[in-house]
Amino acid sequence: MPKQTFFNLPSKKRERILQAGMEEFSAYPYLKSSTNRIIENADISKGSFYQYFDNKKDLYKYIIKKATDEKIEFLNEQLVDFEKQSFFDYLRELFIGGIKFKKQYPLLSKIGDRLLTGDNESLKKEVYDESRPKSNQFFLNILKKAAVRGELDPEIDIEMTAYMLTDFSISIIDYYFKQYEPENNDRVVEELEQILEYVDKMIYIMKNGIAKKC
């Protein structure tokens, strides 16, 4: 977590430092990222950097935390009131929102991708242990409401399901982008159709399972 001196800075300077950090961590794996480049691009001294953060990891983990918070806020803003939708319709919109977030926030998304696919397992575990509970709680809240409304099998373990939904939300986004690598904004309609196709496939699996029906 940044030191209080960072939060005391004018907002424009804080944003400049965070932008420099996001650009660095999106361009390089964590172990190859450079504190010196961040300092240079943020136009601050090395001494100032260490007045604001304990080290590079401190800045990195703060950016990951902001990404998690912004994604949850983004999803809440994008979605229609849960009470007006069935659980699986709502879940469908959540997964679509996750893909939209990745397209609208490419730097934050690329940082997450580098963490997900990187080989720094100790860092990955440390970051996930700190950021995952927010996502789990987000899904747990809607699962509890769906359970009260009688939409879920009463035998399921809701907390475990919330944990699994966090993984599903990551997996579907990762799978979609690996398949299509969508970068061309002129293909918005076509990409939306592809997004809906992948989300609907995931929802079908979740609703029906993978066992052959008798």
Q: How far apart are CA 58 and CA 161, in angstroms?
A: 31
**What is the model's pTM?**
0.76
Give the residue range(s) of CATH 1.10.357.10 domains in the chain: 64-208
Q: Which two tokens stand for residue 162?
A: 């919330």
Burial 40-52, CB ≥16 within 10 A → b, else e = ebbebeeebbeeb
Residue 187 has pLDDT above 80, yes or no: no
Give the residue range(s) of CATH 1.10.10.60 domains in the chain: 4-57
Q: Does domain 4-57 have CATH number 3.30.200.20?
A: no
The predicted model gives 152-174 an average pLDDT of 85
3-state DSSP helix/strand/coil percent for the chain, to nearest 5?
80, 0, 20
Closest CA to 103 of 173, 42, 34: 173
Q: Which residue has the tokens 């803003």?
A: 77
Lowest mean pLDDT, pick from 26-35, 77-86, 134-143, 180-189: 180-189
- 64-208: CATH topology is Tetracycline Repressor; domain 2 (1.10.357)
Closest CA to 39 of 52, 28, 27: 52
**Residue-level length of the chain:** 214
Residue 186 has pLDDT above 50, yes or no: no
Q: How far apart are CA 207 and CA 190, in angstroms?
A: 26
Residue 180 has pLDDT above 80, yes or no: no
The predicted model gives 151-164 an average pLDDT of 90
28 close to 60: Cβ distance less than 8 angstroms: no
Q: Which two tokens stand for residue 135?
A: 């996502």
